[in-house]
Amino acid sequence: MMNNKRYYILFVAAVASLGGLLFGYDTAVIAGAEQSIQLYLLDSLDLSSFVHGLTVSSALAGCIIGALISGLLSNSIGRRNTLVIAAVLFSLSALGSAYPELLFFTYGEPSLELLVTFNIYRIIGGIGVGLASAIAPVYISEMSPSKIRGRMVILYAVSVVFGQTVVYVVNWLISLGRTSEWINDIGWRLMFASELIPAALFFFLLLFIPETPRYLALKHEYDKAYNLLEKVNGSKQIASETLQQIKHSMNTKTEKVSLFHYGKLVLLVGMAVAIFQQIIGINIVMYYAPRIFENLGADSSTSMFQTIFVGLISVVATLTAIRIVDRQGRKFLLLFGSLGCAICLAAVAALFFADIQGISVLIFILGFVAVFQMTWGPVTWVYISEVFPNKIRGQAVAIAVTLSWGANLTASSTFPPLNDALGSGAFLIYGLISTFAFFFVLKFVPETKNKSLEEIEATWFAGKKDELETIDVTSEKKLN
């Protein structure tokens, strides 16, 4: 029975984590194709580097939209069905991005209208990413027993960087032994089209997993919720107790509180952590890796191959975070990550200004990726899921994720003009941001390691305990 329970939880978590894999796949596939797109749709129309940046990052506009509507969709049609919609959007985006001339345009004839259409397809995929990034972790959390919930959420983060690694390998294999002309004509299209395979697999497997017990209880389908709780917990008693707690929380008479009920500081801290994760500069490397490596002297095929190392390092570093996040603590890892990223980014800029290229620059770029993916990458998702008080968590997390995608869009779209003006010296800007993040975390971010959600919530009411409402701690722990 225990083995069956474990395998079932792993299966549903793995299926939902495919949403994370596609998150990574869709956002990183542009790395292999962006130079070909520049030649085909931008240089041929004599458009600026700013438009280039917007085109590379256009999917992120869709991510913002997807994150904004995720809560509404998941509460109205369900967590699983929202992920089904995301799978469909991934498929449409893959097909349309690979062949934007479909239906309305002539193959091989670039135009401003074709560029707009390409970006629309990328935005459609971005909406899928936004939905998956918000709902897949929620699905895993609501399906997992409390004892393994934290590890399951970080497993989702692992799937994101694994998806980036997979697409780097795919891009390299597509370009292997091919001429630049072939890549600029056909290869970049195959890179986008390759996403159809994991998207179709995601859609198919979603048909075999259930809705979460919490959503079923929300729709008053208590028998189904109970049967599912018994299946994932392996105990009728735990299933019964958990269902009662869920029903109690659904039927609570407690008055709703405003977003600012717990003060502005908790919102500032949670949302700032989400924003810092993006503007430190990780996605500059993820989206523009081949271009960066070519600037260091690599040819097209070699630069594609080097991106695989970026992906592999990301996976290993994120797996390491699973082992240390509960032992070292969230604040320590964020401080370590800020300092490590600042050193690596400043070194890249310093080597550029000293006119030194080659392996030394590559080492610091890979070092930056390793430090980030062991700290800010996965820890941010854990931190924003626990730092907000219970009554505002859903709303606050949705806003934090939306701001995160907005910051990602800003950082990635401004890199091309910064790169034109400063070259690799632009990394100094991200190093300064990392330094600022260090002092912000040191001053304002409280540690949440080994604290219950209620203890974390009480942190924001230090010195004014009279404002806290009485909480049934035992019941709340069972829920969280």
Tens digit of each residue's pLDDT (9 = 90 or more) over 326-352: 778 788 999 999 999 999 989 888 888
- Mean pLDDT rounded to a whole number for the chain: 79
pLDDT at 197 over 90: yes
Tokens for 127, please give them.
């909406």
Contact predicate 219/53, CB 8 Å:
no
CA distance readout (Å), 89 to 55, 95, 131, 203: 18, 10, 10, 10
The reported pTM is 0.73
CATH 1.10.3720.10 fits 255-480, yes or no: no
- What is the rounded CA–CA span in Å between residue 393 and residue 396? 5
Of 478, 79, 7, which is closest to residue 243 (Cα–Cα)? Answer: 478
Superfamily of domain 1-209: MFS general substrate transporter like domains (1.20.1250.20)
Which band of pLDDT confidence, cut at 50, 70 and 90, is reported for residue 452? Answer: low
pLDDT for res 474: 42
1-209 and 255-480 agree in CATH topology: yes
Tell me which of 289-298, 412-421, 432-441 is least confident: 289-298
Contact predicate 132/20, CB 8 Å:
yes
The string over 250-275, giving b where at least 16 C-beta atoms fall within 10 Å of a residue's C-beta and e elsewhere, is: eeeeeeeeeeeebeeebbebbbbbbb
32-46, 317-331, 433-447 — which one is most confidently predicted on average?
433-447
Contact residues for 287 (Cβ-Cβ < 8 A; gap 6+): 27, 28, 30, 31, 34, 56, 57, 412, 415
- What is the rounded CA–CA span in Å between residue 310 and residue 131? 26
* Domain regions of the chain by residue span: 1-209, 215-253, 255-480
When pLDDT is averaged across residues 300-315 and rounded to a whole number, the result is 71
Contact residues for 253 (Cβ-Cβ < 8 A; gap 6+): none
Tell me which of 194-208, 280-294, 438-452 is least confident: 280-294
Q: Helices in 38-148 by DSSP H: which ranges?
A: 49-56, 58-76, 79-98, 112-143
Count CB-CB contacts under 10 A for residue 303. Answer: 23
pLDDT in tens, 133-187: 888 877 887 787 766 766 777 788 788 888 888 888 888 888 887 887 888 888 8
70-84, 235-249, 416-430 — which one is most confidently predicted on average?
70-84
Contact residues for 313 (Cβ-Cβ < 8 A; gap 6+): 366, 369, 370, 373
Which band of pLDDT confidence, cut at 50, 70 and 90, is reported for residue 461? Answer: low
When pLDDT is averaged across residues 382-403 and rounded to a whole number, the result is 75
- What is the rounded CA–CA span in Å between residue 423 and residue 412? 15
- What is the rounded CA–CA span in Å between residue 172 and residue 337? 29
**DSSP at 187:** I
- What is the rounded CA–CA span in Å between residue 5 and residue 471? 31
Collapsed DSSP state (helix, strand, coil) of residue 462: coil
pLDDT for res 128: 92
- What is the rounded CA–CA span in Å between residue 349 and residue 337? 18
Tokens for 406, please give them.
């907005």
216 vs 49 pLDDT, higher one: 216
